[in-house]
Amino acid sequence: MTEESSTDKQLVERVQRGDKRAFDLLVLKYQHRIVGLVGRYLRDQDEVQDVTQEAFIKAYRALPRFRGDSAFYTWLYRIAINTAKNHLVSRSRRPPDTDVDVDFADGAYQESLSDMVNPENSLATDQLEAVVYKAIDDLAEDLKVAVTLREFEGLSYEEIADVMECPVGTVRSRIFRAREAIEKKIAGIEKG
Amino acid sequence: MTEHLKQSISALLDDEASEIEVHRLLREFGDDGDLKLSWVRYQQIRAVSQGYHHLSETQHLSLHESISNAIHEEQSHEVAPSQRPGWQRQASGFAVAASLVVAVLVGVNLNQPNSASVPGLAGAKTSTAIDVQRVSTSDEAFGPVSDTAFSEDELELHELDEVKQQQLREYLMRHDRMSRLNNNARTVNYQPKSGN
């Protein structure tokens, strides 16, 4: 992600005009990433959640001063990193020696995940991964290609449309149907 | 929860949702627990694909609720709409309606000698000139508003062709949606020229 998303821009402007629901959408959009990012610094799950919450609250309070000089998510990541580091300092633990680069932090970091999850969570994580990968594998070819290009390769709808030689609307529909199919498979995990 | 809404959140996840979809989601999202659950699961699919999965679905929902509750206890950044000065409320609605006025005028052929009534508008010629006021607004999202005044001689309305009619219909629907979303907005005031 290197460009400011127009959706983010819309939502940020709404929040700055007083619409808190718009911030709810921003939280949901970035919550997973921020949890993962904070998890690079903290091992305890409760702490990760607390610090994530604190980071979002700080971001909300600071939003009137956000001028859009950087992308929203970049700005949010900086807040999250600083909040996590401050938390470590306040608990008299050393933060990491080097700052975590935003772009690097956005990438895969499975090694750190295995450090911080407890055995129960590890099992749940493995189970979820297995279900998701199997579900993707079971998809019809056109849905599989569309969702793979989107989720694993990060291509835009327009780029995927070029690759698959179909309209953007078709790409959008295929990705949605793929997610629906995968969602059905993972729906039972929590209850299981 | 409609499939249409779920498709919108799928698109929003990819930054491919339209402005109208974002408006609709903002309206429906808070009341629909199933929609939120679908969103969390779509995010989990992404998190697994990109290797940053960490919390469970329940934990994410619970976390989001905590953050949401905390945010809603915070002070709003802007004053409430009802407390805004009247000109600001009008400015918001005016900017939206200004686009509608422009759309109507696009369909007006000022140079054609033959005139016919425009569907939905009474009379072939208007006897009232429209004087659109400039209203300053700091809302950058709507862009600048320009002064425009049309005399009786300039305004001669003609029937729109099919394409322009469709464009006008789309503008009207969009304006209607946006007006309904902004309860305090008013459409532009048409002021007759003095002497009419």
ipTM given for this complex: 0.75
Q: How confident is the model at residue A189 (pLDDT cuts 50, 70, 90)?
A: confident
* Separation in Å, CA of A135 to nearest CA in chain B: 10
Q: What is the mean pLDDT of residues A37-65?
A: 91
The whole-angstrom separation of Cα A164 and Cα B169 is: 33
pLDDT at B103: 64
Token pair belonging to A83? 């909040």
Beta bridge partners of B191: B131
CA neighbor of B131 nearest in space, from B107, B155, B164, B165: B155
Residue-wise pLDDT for B46-69, tens only, equals: 988 888 766 888 888 899 999 999
Region of B104 please: left (phi>0), alpha (psi -120 to 50) or beta.
alpha
pLDDT (0 to 100) of residue A26: 93
Chain B residue with CA closest to A155: the answer is B14
**Which of the residue ranges A138-152, A173-187, B50-64, B83-97 would you say has the lowest mean pLDDT?**
B83-97
Cβ-based neighbours of A63, under 8 Å, separated by 6 or more: A12, A15, A16, A23, B77
Helix (H, G, I), strand (E, B) or coil at A117: coil
pLDDT tens digits, B124-138: 444 444 343 443 334
Say how many CB pairs under 8 Å bridge A and B.
175
Closest chain A residue by Cα to residue B22: A7
Instruction: Locate the chain B residue with the closest alpha carbon to A179.
Output: B42
The SS3 of residue B132 is strand
Q: Which of A40-49, B8-17, B68-77, B151-160 has the highest mean pLDDT?
A: B8-17
Contact B67 A27 (CB under 8 A): yes
Identify the CA nearest to B56 among candidates B44, B65, B45, B66. Answer: B44
- Which candidate from A52, A129, A183 shows the least CB-CB separation from B41? A183
Contact call for B68 and A24, based on CB within 8 A: yes
Smallest Cβ–Cβ distance between A179 and the set B10, B15, B26 belongs to B10
Considering chain B, what percentage of its residues have pLDDT values greater than 70?
Answer: 47
| The pLDDT of residue A133 | 92
Q: Which residues contact A117 (CB under 8 A, 6 or more apart)?
A: A45, A125, B54
**In angstroms, rounded to a whole number, what is the distance separating the alpha carbons of residues A52 and B34?**
23
Please tell me which of A85-99, B25-39, B82-96, B161-175 the model is most confident about, judged by mean pLDDT.
B25-39
For residue B131, give the H/E element and its range: strand B131-132
Strands B131-132 and B148-149: antiparallel
What's the pLDDT score for residue A88?
87
* Per-residue pLDDT at B149 exceeds 80: no
Q: Quote the mean pLDDT of chain A.
A: 83
The residue of chain B nearest to residue A122, with distances taken between CA atoms, is B54
- Residue B64 to residue A13, Cβ atoms within 8 A: no
pLDDT in tens, A144-176: 999 998 998 888 999 999 999 999 999 999 999
